[in-house]
Amino acid sequence: MKDTTTVFQPKTNIDSVNWYVTLKCNYNCKFCSVKKQKSTITEILDAETILFRLYDLGFEKINIVGGEPLLYPFICDITKMAKKIGFITTLRTNGSLLTSSKIAILSPYLDWIELPLDSSKEEVEKELGRGCGKHVQNIQRVSNILKCTDVKLKINTIITKLNCKEDLKPFIRALNPDKWEIFKALNIKDEKYSKFLISDREFLNYQKLNENIILKSGEEPVFNQHTNTIDSCSILLSSKDINDISKNIYSVLTLNCDGSITVIEKNSIHN
C-alpha cells in the first residue's frame, strides 16, 4: 500500500473524524489494533482551536475514541467544547468506567455512545480479553442508565469462532440500541489469535441468524464483513503515534506538533 501525505483539503465524502485522545486502555481485547501502541496522547495543543479548525474543514461529527477515552483526563472538557461548537458527538468506550455520575456529566454534550458487545456470555467476553468477567453485566448497566437520557446507543460486535453461532438478538432487544454494527474479526497477523478467525461463510451464517431484528431507530443491523474494527474515514492523532494504527484506514489526519493538520491518504483500506 502506498501513502501520500498532503495538506488536508475538505472533502465532501468525509464528514466525521475520530479523535484518538489516548491510546491507553484498561482492557486487553485480543483483536484490538490500538493496544499494541505503547505511547499515549497526553497533550492537547489547543483543543478549541483544533475543534474549530475541524469544523471549518467541514467535519460534522466527531468521534472521541481511544484506547479507552475515559482514561483521558480532559474527556469532559473536550466533549463539552465539541458540542458547543456544533459537532454531532460520539464517545466510543468499553463502558467499564462509565459510572452514572460520569454519564450525568457527559450526557448533555453527547449524541451517541458506542459500546462493544460480542456475546451475552461473560466467559466469551473474558476469553476475548474484554475485561475480567463482568463486561456483559457492565454493558447492561450502562444501557439501562442511557435509557433515562437522550444519548443514543450503538453496539459494536466482533465475530470470532467463540460467538459465530450465537443468536444475539434477544440480548440486543433488551439493550434496545439505536444502531447495531457487526464486524468480522480482522486478521491482525498474530498466530496466537488465528484460531479465533472465521471464514466468510461463517460470517454470512451469523448474519442469517441475527439479521432479522429492527432496532430502536427503526433500522436494521449493519453487517461489515470486510471493513476493520476501527472503521472510519479519518483519524486525528499525534503524528508520533501513527504507525501501526493507520494500516487499514483510508485516510488519517495527523496532528502535528505545531498544531497544523496533515492527511495521509491510502489507496486502499486493506493491506
CB of 133 to ligand SF4, least distance (A): 15
The x, y and z cell numbers of residue 145, run together, are: 442508565
> How many whole angstroms separate alpha carbon 77 and alpha carbon 74?
5
The kind and range of the H/E element at 89 are strand 88-92
Between residue 66 and residue 105, which ones bind ligand SF4 under the rule CB under 6 A?
66-68, 94
Task: Please list, in sequence order, all residues whose beta carbon lies within 8 angstroms of the beta carbon of residue 141, skipping any fewer than 6 positions away.
Answer: none
Residue 39 or 212: which CB sits closer to ligand SF4? 39
Considering only 2-10, 26-34, 210-218, 253-261, which stretch makes contact with ligand SF4 by CB under 6 A?
26-34
Considering only 53-61, 63-71, 176-184, 256-264, which stretch makes contact with ligand SF4 by CB under 6 A?
63-71
Task: Answer yes or no whether residue 40 interacts with ligand SF4 by CB under 6 A.
Answer: no
Residue 66 or 221: which CB sits closer to ligand SF4? 66
CB of 20 to ligand SF4, least distance (A): 10
CB of 33 to ligand SF4, least distance (A): 7
Residue 28 or 49: which CB sits closer to ligand SF4? 28
7 phi and psi angles, rounded to 5 deg = -70, 140
Pair type for strands 235-238 and 251-255: parallel
Work out which of 14, 17, 29, 253 binds ligand SF4, going by CB under 6 A.
29
> How many whole angstroms separate alpha carbon 24 and alpha carbon 105?
22
CB of 66 to ligand SF4, least distance (A): 5
> How many whole angstroms separate alpha carbon 151 and alpha carbon 155?
13
Considering only 22-30, 163-171, 197-205, 242-250, which stretch makes contact with ligand SF4 by CB under 6 A?
22-30
Task: Answer yes or no whether residue 221 interacts with ligand SF4 by CB under 6 A.
Answer: no
Residue 69 or 221: which CB sits closer to ligand SF4? 69
Task: Answer yes or no whether residue 34 interacts with ligand SF4 by CB under 6 A.
Answer: yes
10 Å Cβ neighbour count for 76? 14
Considering only 42-50, 60-68, 191-199, 210-218, which stretch makes contact with ligand SF4 by CB under 6 A?
60-68
Task: Note the helical H segments in 62-180.
Answer: 75-85, 100-106, 122-127, 135-146, 169-175
Sheet holding 88-92, edge to edge: 3-7, 261-266, 251-255, 235-238, 16-20, 61-65, 88-92, 112-116, 152-159, 179-184, 222-224
Considering only 30-38, 51-59, 75-83, 190-198, which stretch makes contact with ligand SF4 by CB under 6 A?
30-38
6 phi and psi angles, rounded to 5 deg = -140, 165
Task: Answer yes or no whether residue 25 interacts with ligand SF4 by CB under 6 A.
Answer: yes
Task: Answer yes or no whether residue 35 interacts with ligand SF4 by CB under 6 A.
Answer: yes
For the four alpha carbons of 24, 30, 32 and 38, in that order, the dihedral sign comes to positive
> How many whole angstroms separate alpha carbon 6 and alpha carbon 94?
33
Residue 8 or 24: which CB sits closer to ligand SF4? 24
Binding site for ligand SF4 (CB under 6 A): 25, 27-29, 32, 34-35, 66-68, 94
